[in-house]
A and B are shown apart, each in its own frame.
Chain A
Amino acid sequence: MKALWRALAALRQYPSAIAGLGIVLGMVLFALFSVIAIPYQEAIRLWRGGEGLWTDSPRFAPPAWVNWWPGSNLPTTIRLDSADGGATKTREDLGGGVTEVNLVYAFDYGFDGFPQELTVFFNPTFEAGRPNASLTWRTPDGREIRVGDVTLRSAETFRISQDTRLERRLGGVVPEIGLFADPANPGQPLKGRYELHVAGLVFEEAADIDARLVVYGQVHGWAGTDHRRRDLGVALMWGAPIALAFGLLAAVGTIVTTMFIAAMGVWFGGWIDAAIQRITEVNIILPFLPILIMVGTFYSRSIWVLLLVVIALGIFTAGIKSYRAIFMQIKQSAYIEAAQAYGAGNLRIVVRYMIPRIVPVLVPAFVSAVPTFVFLEASLAVLGLGDPVLPTWGKMINDAQANGALFRGYYYWILQPAALLLLTGFGFALVGFALDRVFNPRLRDV
């Protein structure tokens, strides 16, 4: 323990290590925060998505902070739900069992861009008689545009932007642009107060109409959205603990096990040592990534299976050879002989006298191994072999690629996870290199 503190103190003289530690610490805190803010089950649920969860988000929307760019004023989503007061609702009994339910949605539109979509989600309550609704659009400069009529089933979605008749009425312009365009300046939206009037008719006493108007913005959230309208922030946040956990577990699992096996081989010598060396030599030749791809393709893509295979393949690697060399040197030490002389047993000698000498070598190796495994998991995910349910950075990149993100200009979708991956690798690498210099004096410059 004390050795750890001394190592950290020694790191202080390397500015790169301090930067690296800062990054790593930031990542760890970010991961912890993610796990607390969005518990695991919740994250899975959110990521599994389904239209029901993310209906009110735009698709392929860049993050909202794009608007900090000077001159950029892209619209964000406007949601008005009559159920919680987003609309002014009036009921008028017209007699004969018919009641008029009027909903007026009013909002101010000050953005420089057109909305992505316009949709009205109806939520009527009725028994048998299906209500109908008539929608009218009022622009800030007083024009009234008839949007359309619709007969409501139990849950009706009226996608204004996809209505071809409205499009024709607007002169061939898609509704989300046509309804907002400034007549004097058709490329720009007219700013001001817009109103949507929904004149509904219900045919029962207890019937009612509630509706939600969603004016989809072009930007959304702090991370943007993907093809399934999911907020990428969930994946970015949850990618951190998954990446770190995978990296740490794999690094610890492989390096610690490798070290133990090397120690046992050196201590017992003879055929045990020879067997370990031969297994290692065979394993080194085996192609790591193709085997993982095979396992992922034919067996299971669960991240735990992947982790186990990675550790299993990662044990008998070149590390065994180099730790063995170090152990053989340590075994010759005079204090080991002295320990035999006062009667210490084999296990005690290996665990208490030999292994502590190699820990200083392991620590930098371990720190440098973490990003390797993080990238490995991400690579597999990018190749489509990642865990199907977990929101990881690699999965994001995989989705992005499948949806042609770079081709269609959705750079944020790739750059954000890539940046986080790079940052993680960079942070650990900085710390790892500095630790290497702390523990291995021959690399120092004096």
Chain B
Amino acid sequence: MADASVNGTLLDVRGLRTHFELRRFGFFKVGTVRAVDGISFQLGQGEAVAVVGESGCGKSTLVKTLLGIHPPTEGEIRFNGRDISKFDAATLKWYRSQIGYVQQDPYGALPPFMQAQRILEEPMIVNGVRDRAERMERINTALTEVKLTPVGDILQKFPHMLSGGQQQRLVIARAMILNPKLILADEPVSMLDASVRVEILQILRKLQETHGIGVIYITHDLSTVRYFSERIFVMYGGKLIEHAGVRDLVHHPSHPYTQALLEAISDPDPVNATHMKKVPAGEPPSLVNPPPGCRYHPRCPHHMPGICDVEDPPHFLPRPDHWTACFLYRDGAEAPPP
């Protein structure tokens, strides 16, 4: 994997697998949901990356595993070099305070019976910030940074009194309040109106640049990725199938799935109405019974029988700093898993 960043690696994930068991009546195991099935990547300090994938690709499970909410079935997650599965309860709690979590549904992410001030105080209380004055000061800073002003007006409001955009900004403020090193944003703008999305993304971008925090931005909307991150990871069927810098991926997508994704996304252009999009039919793969070999092969227009449906493709390097898990590139150099 290329240089993570000048400051060192914040998050190092290797061979991560998170599987859930399906049990009937609480006893009989009838299958395994392989939500995250072998993911490796590195995130540098202060780096912003996007994880792109459709629903059912396992990206939400990836987030929860990184947060320590689901234990990984296999693999390692290292935070600043330390293996989080070796953390005891207290260290795990500290680890969670180092990550801010921004969720998709701004209203659901806020307890409806608490006022904004209390919502922001809770993480601090839980993590032992005892001094009331200090809490109020941090609240003030956080709210100002997300542009929820005047602060005095906002503090007493309940979530239902705020608009969608304001709610999400409150969620971001809460994520920032413990001065985390990493923000996990799971579809932070997909439930907001178009005209508000940009504002939220800009706020996140500014926070990332000002405080030098790493951001993992999870989305299915590739068109927003350009405004917010430097690298993209594409997930499909629980696996990372491509990653590269944003510009490079958008202009030279190598994996057929990525190509389909890019083709499927529209820009507001009237010429769209005149032609059909070239997109594959079919559905995302089941995570319980994934297809053998490359997960995308049933839908892939370049499917090579005998090659694609036998083994999982390893990562190839068709271009500098641009990795793809597709047998189409097997003649190029085969690089070790990043």
Query: Do the two chains belong together in a single complex?
Result: yes
Contact with B along A232-263 (1 / 0, CB 8 A): 00000000000000000000000000000000
> Do A333 and B108 have beta carbons less than 8 Å apart?
yes
Inter-subunit contact B104/A334 (CB<8 Å)? yes
Cα distance, A344 to B124, chains bound together (Å) = 10
Chain A residues near B105 (CB-CB < 8 A) = 334
Q: Please state if B67 and A341 are interface contacts (CB–CB under 8 Å).
A: yes
At the interface, yes or no: A335 with Cβ under 8 Å from chain B?
A: yes
The CA-CA distance from A345 to B126 in the complex, in Å, is 8
Tally A-B pairs: CB < 8 A. Answer: 57
Query: Across the interface, do A343 and B111 meet the contact criterion of CB distance under 8 Å?
Result: no
Whether, in the assembled complex, B178 has its beta carbon less than 8 Å from a beta carbon of chain A, the answer is yes
Rounded to whole angstroms, the CA-CA distance of A291 and B321 in the bound complex is 77
A220 to B171, CA, bound (A): 71
Query: Shortest distance in angstroms between B214's beta carbon and chain A's nearest beta carbon?
Result: 16
Contact of B133 with A by CB under 8 A: no
Contacts of B110 in A (CB 8 A): 335
The answer to whether residues A335 and B123 also contact, given A341-B99, A342-B101, A342-B178 and a CB cut-off of 8 A, is no
Contact B123 A343 (CB under 8 A): yes
A335 touches B108 (CB 8 A): yes
A337 to B96, CA, bound (A): 12
Give the CA-CA distance A343 to B67 in the complex, in Å: 10
Chain A CB within 8 A of B3 CB:
no
B69 at the interface (CB under 8 A from A): yes
CA of A336 to CA of B333, assembled, Å: 46
Please encode chain B, from 94 to 106, with 1 for each CB lying within 8 Å of some chain A CB and 0 for all others.
0011010101110
What's the least CB distance linking A73 to chain B, in Å?
Answer: 63
Kindly identify, within residues 310 to 363 of chain A, every residue whose CB is under 8 Å from any CB belonging to chain B.
Answer: 333-335, 337-345, 348, 352-353, 356-357
Q: Report B2 CB to chain A, min CB distance, Å.
A: 29
Tell whether B82 is near chain A: CB-to-CB under 8 Å.
no
Nearest-Cβ distance from residue B138 to partner chain A, whole angstroms: 13
> How many whole Å from A332's CB to the nearest CB in chain B?
9
- Nearest residue, chain A, Cβ from B104: A334
* A3 CB-CB contact with B under 8 Å: yes
Chain A residues with Cβ below 8 Å from B123 are: 342-343
Q: Nearest CB to that of B64 among chain A residues?
A: A337
Residue B93 CB within 8 A of the other chain: yes
Contact residues in A for B223 (Cβ distance below 8 Å) = none
Asked whether, in the complex, the Cβ of A339 is within 8 Å of the Cβ of B93, the reply is no
With A3-B113, A335-B108, A353-B111: A342-B127 Cβ-Cβ less than 8 Å: yes
Contacts of A352 in B (CB 8 A): 122
B255 CB to nearest chain A CB (Å): 31
Chain A, 141-162, CB within 8 A of any chain B CB: none
Q: Is the CB of A343 within 8 A of B127?
A: yes
Give the residue of A3, A334, A348, A353 whose beta carbon is less than 8 angstroms from that of B103.
A334
Measured between beta carbons, the chain B residues less than 8 angstroms from A342 are: 96-97, 101, 122-123, 126-127, 174, 178
Tell me whether B109 is interfacial, beta carbon within 8 Å.
Answer: yes
Interface residues on B, range: 20 to 34
Interface size on A, residues (CB 8 A): 19
Residues of B110-153 whose CB lies within 8 A of A: 110-113, 122-123, 126-127
A357/B113 in contact, CB under 8 A = yes
Residues of B within 8 A of A338 (CB): 101, 103, 109, 171, 174
Q: Would B113 and A344 count as touching, CB distance under 8 A?
A: no
Of all chain A residues, which has the CB nearest B89?
A345
Closest chain B residue to A274 by CB distance?
Answer: B26
Q: B31 CB to closest chain A CB, in angstroms? A: 20
A341 interface neighbour in B26, B96, B104, B112, Cβ under 8 Å: B96
Residue on A with the closest CB to B107? A334
Judging by beta carbons under 8 Å apart, are A340 and B69 in contact? yes
Q: Which residue of B lies closest to A3 (CB)?
A: B113
Complex Cα gap A344–B178 (Å): 13
Closest CB in chain B relative to A358 CB, distance in Å: 10
Minimum C-beta distance from A192 to chain B (A): 76
- Measured in the bound complex, the distance between the Cα atoms of B93 and A340 in whole Å is 9
Question: What is the chain A residue whose CB lies nearest that of B90?
Answer: A343
A residues within 8 A CB of B126?
Answer: 339, 342-345, 348
Which residues of chain A are within 8 angstroms of B174 by Cβ–Cβ distance?
A: 338, 342
Per the bound structure, the CA–CA distance linking A341 and B180 in Å amounts to 12
Determine the distance from Cα of A348 to Cα of B125 in the docked complex, in whole angstroms. 11
* B178 partner residues in chain A, CB cutoff 8 A: 342
Instruction: Report A189 CB to chain B, min CB distance, Å.
Output: 71
Shortest Cβ distance from residue B117 to the other chain A in the assembled complex, whole angstroms: 13
Q: How far is the CA of A342 from the CA of B95 in the complex (A)?
A: 9
Q: Which residues of B contact A3 (CB under 8 A)?
A: 113
Please list the residues of chain A having a beta carbon within 8 angstroms of any beta carbon in chain B. Answer: 3, 274, 333-335, 337-345, 348, 352-353, 356-357
A-B contact pairs, 29 of them (CB 8 A): A3-B113, A274-B26, A334-B103, A334-B105, A334-B108, A335-B109, A335-B111, A337-B69, A337-B101, A338-B103, A338-B109, A339-B122, A340-B69, A340-B96, A341-B67, A342-B97, A342-B123, A342-B126, A342-B127, A343-B93, A343-B96, A343-B97, A343-B126, A343-B127, A344-B122, A345-B126, A352-B122, A353-B111, A357-B112
Given known contacts A333-B108, A342-B126, what 14 new A-B pairs fall within 8 Å (CB)? Answer: A274-B26, A334-B104, A334-B108, A337-B64, A337-B109, A338-B103, A340-B69, A341-B67, A342-B101, A342-B122, A342-B174, A343-B96, A343-B127, A345-B126
